[in-house]
Amino acid sequence: MVKRTKSPDMPGFIKPQLATLRSKAPSGDQWLHEIKFDGYRVQLHINEGKAKAFTRNGLDWTKRFSVIAGAFDIPGQAIIDGEVVVVHEGRTNFSELQAELARGDQDRLLYYAFDLLWLDGKDLRKRPQIERKAMLRGLFDDHELEPPVLYSEHLEGDGDELFKHASKLNYEGIISKKADAPYRSDRNEEWLKIKAVQRGKFPVVGFIKDPTGVAALYLGKQEGKELVYMGKVGTGWSRTISSQIRKQLDTVISPKSKLTKPVKKPKAVWVEPKFFADVEYRDITSEGLLRASSFKGLSRK
């Protein structure tokens, strides 16, 4: 059992610690590795039965997350760092979360708690990461906390194994944290984020002009006999490459869209789907569109 004493001197919103992007997961016993959730970072403040929820920028979103805040039915005080998510088809999905919040619904919202910053008058930020997580685990166990609040599990040691597993399941990636590090309110290398990136080739169905090349490419996907819209990509090329893309696409301009179900794009120049864009992307949204896409190359059919 964790010993607790009352204290009125609970701090206000604490600026969150942020992770630095890295291409490879670290290894060694000094690291903890967690699944990277695709949701909203939320800091919960529980004070003698009253709970508040703050966004990563300190906005009070208690009303939007009132069900989650109320689920931390514990005495005393606590400040907990975590992520609000919606799980869709076995993994967290940011688009589904946005849709849920737009409707004002909370039925599908879950909160993964991954850090404990304050407990009953004690500032825990200078304590090691591994110790803070142990105390957070104890908080869940002592009070038998249940969904919609969940404890974020971790693995210790080599993060590459978890990263490969996360990538196969199309998770966003992992967060690696130094086990002996304190909590610091800035972006630093004691927390690292390693993102899983997906890649595919998509037929170019149109483009937006810019003065010397293209501002964006509209992409499709062949599903049986149908050519469906997959969204657009607007980053990943230099001015020279942009000009080269434009010259190639100008040779296959079409008077109308070749998509099975046309989409309204007033600035679009439609083309025959003769070229394929090689694209890296993070996810496919619930609307079937590429998310966080980046252009890597163009090839002829």
Tens of pLDDT along 200-214?
Answer: 999 999 999 999 899
Of 4-18, 142-156, 195-209, 214-228, the least confident: 4-18
- Per-residue pLDDT for 1 more than 90? no
Coil, strand or helix at 164: helix
pLDDT at residue 90 in the model? 82
Which pair of structure tokens corresponds to residue 162?
A: 């978890």
d(CA 39, CA 45) in angstroms, rounded, equals: 19
pLDDT band at 26 (very low <50, low <70, confident <90, very high): very high
- Burial level of 136, CB count in 10 A (0-12/13-18/19+)? buried
Q: Which residue has the higher pLDDT, 113 or 196?
A: 113
| Arithmetic mean of pLDDT, 223-236 | 94
Q: Where are the beta strands (DSSP E) in 155-284?
A: 155-156, 173-178, 187-195, 198-209, 214-223, 226-233, 268-270, 275-281, 283-284
| Arithmetic mean of pLDDT, 37-44 | 94
**Model confidence over 72-94: pLDDT tens digits?**
989 999 999 999 999 987 888 88
Of all residues in the chain, the percent with pLDDT exceeding 90 is 73
pLDDT at residue 92 in the model? 87
Rg of the Cα atoms in the chain = 23
CATH number given to 18-195 = 3.30.470.30
pLDDT at residue 3 in the model? 52
- Per-residue pLDDT for 191 more than 50? yes
Collect all residues with Cβ–Cβ distance below 8 Å to 203 and sequence separation of at least 6: 219, 220, 221, 222, 227, 273, 275, 276, 277, 301
- Per-residue pLDDT for 2 more than 80? no
| Arithmetic mean of pLDDT, 236-246 | 92
Q: Which of 114, 120, 149, 150 is nearest to 134 (CA)?
A: 114
Q: Which residue has the higher pLDDT, 46 or 3?
A: 46
Q: Which residue has the higher pLDDT, 169 or 2?
A: 169
d(CA 293, CA 281) in angstroms, rounded, equals: 4
pLDDT at residue 6 in the model? 47
* Intervals of CATH 2.40.50.140 along the chain: 198-300
Strand partners, 281: 198
Of all residues in the chain, the percent with pLDDT exceeding 70 is 97
Q: Which CATH architecture has domain 198-300?
A: Beta Barrel (2.40)
Instruction: Just list the catalytic residues.
Output: 36
pLDDT band at 8 (very low <50, low <70, confident <90, very high): low
Q: Averaging pLDDT over each range in 101-105, 133-137, 297-301, which range is the top one?
A: 133-137
Over the chain, what is the mean pLDDT?
92
* Intervals of CATH 3.30.470.30 along the chain: 18-195
| Arithmetic mean of pLDDT, 253-277 | 95
| Arithmetic mean of pLDDT, 23-36 | 92
